[in-house]
Amino acid sequence: MIVMRGEYKTPGGKLVGVEVVVDESGKPVTCTIDGDFFVLGDDDAACAMLAQLEDSLIAGRPLAGVFSHYPSLKLVGADGAAISAAYQRALHKGQNGASDEKGRSIRAKVGVVDVSDRLTSNNDAFHQLYKKRWDALRPLVVHDIARSPADQMKTDEDWARQVARGQRPATLRFWHWAEPAVVVGRFQSVEREVDVQAAKQEGFDIVRRSTGGGAMFIEPGDVITYSLYAPKGFVASLGVNESFRLCDQWVIDALRGLGIDAFFSGTNDIASSQGKIGGAAQRLYPAADGGPGALLHHVTLAYDIDAQKMGRILKTSPEKLSDKAVKSAVKRVAPIKRQTDVPFETLSSYLETYAKLSYN
């Protein structure tokens, strides 16, 4: 058996990877889909959909039939054409993944996933909706203790499920890390995203979070992390981009208050003219025990970063940067410390206070 891999980065979207196991005759036997995309909707249904997509690739069946069986799920940052492109690259180029005429043809046919929204953070309608929903939500703001990476992942899941069951009020939790960590997204391959040996040598735990998106490089004191746990109704009727902007407009405003020209980039990034500042991820939890269901939305902002260490530990495929002007993951990051002289603790307190005042 031979394992081959192909990747496809949707322009303006997310990376999809497909690993294909072929027999000695070159016939595909099994395949696995991974990447930094999001799947919004029921947990079990999301896993079932991905498994059926993998089966359809091997069988040569159209992927549209699988998506039609899961109308309540939303694949964000990629689509069936992107998955098919990654699969074809695996079969034709194996580990290499280099573009050929077939690869270019596939790329030309694949567009950005339609996550268009009616509202943007620059219009009056958005600001009216933003104020109305935050005024109604009024989350409890919590300054949490430092926890281990594994405990932080468990706390996020536990608190979200408590809100889903109606056992916890809407909460905005600011939290800190007791140890360095690499946090991979829900659908990512650890081996493809992380140099596991280098991470262990540097003393980094590797953990998986419950949301999609890409890998995060964490050192205590270098990042600011917060999680919003809200009833699902908070983002009801909104598109994907609108949902992310609703949850994070307050932090954009707060950073601008420090003279940083912060803005939303793509679906889930927070950036400035100097580069990426941070990223967000979301997951919806179904209603349980008569509760309202829940949205988990969490964000990591880079205050400072050891770029060389990050470069040793995280792996970034050339395909992931194929639609970026800067061809280095290290150079894409622009920590807040480079853009303001506000100390870490002062900034953390400022953001917590700003969050409380943003809906009062």
Residue 320 pLDDT: 75
Q: Measured between alpha carbons, how far is residue 197 from residues 17, 180, 203, 204, 308 in Å?
A: 22, 15, 10, 10, 16
Span 83-108, pLDDT tens digits: 999 999 999 864 444 344 444 444 43
Under the banding of pLDDT at 50, 70 and 90, the label for residue 123 is confident
Please state the rounded mean pLDDT for residues 288-294: 95
Most confident range, picked from 96-105, 116-125, 269-278, 323-332? 269-278
Confidence check: pLDDT of 56 > 60: yes
* CA proximity to 146, closest of 335, 346, 336, 348: 348
**Domains of the chain, residue spans:** 2-109, 124-357
Under the banding of pLDDT at 50, 70 and 90, the label for residue 309 is very high
Please state the rounded mean pLDDT for residues 134-158: 96
State the residue for tokens 């192909």.
Answer: 6
Q: Cβ(242)–Cβ(40) under 8 Å?
A: no
Q: Cβ(156)–Cβ(298) under 8 Å?
A: yes
Cross-strand pairs, 269: 265, 279
- Percent pLDDT > 90 in the chain is 79
Residue 102 pLDDT: 43
CATH class of 2-109: alpha beta
Residue 333 pLDDT: 87
Of 59-63, 100-104, 114-118, 154-158, minimum mean pLDDT range: 100-104
Cross-strand pairs, 284: 295
* CA proximity to 236, closest of 294, 161, 276: 294
Question: What's the rounded Cα separation, in Å, for the pair 93 and 107?
Answer: 15
Residue 99 pLDDT: 40
Of 119-123, 182-186, 216-220, 289-293, minimum mean pLDDT range: 119-123
Q: Measured between alpha carbons, how far is residue 263 from residues 86, 133, 292 in Å?
A: 31, 21, 31
Under the banding of pLDDT at 50, 70 and 90, the label for residue 116 is very low
With b meaning 16 or more CB within 10 Å and e meaning fewer, what string describes 151-160? bbbebbbebb
- DSSP string for 130-185: HHHHHHHH-PEEEEEEEE-HHHHHHHHHHHHHHHHTTSS--EEEEEEESS-EEEE-
Confidence check: pLDDT of 202 > 60: yes
State the residue for tokens 């889930």.
Answer: 268
CATH number of 124-357: 3.30.930.10
Please state the rounded mean pLDDT for residues 282-296: 95
Q: Tokens representing 81?
A: 């054409």
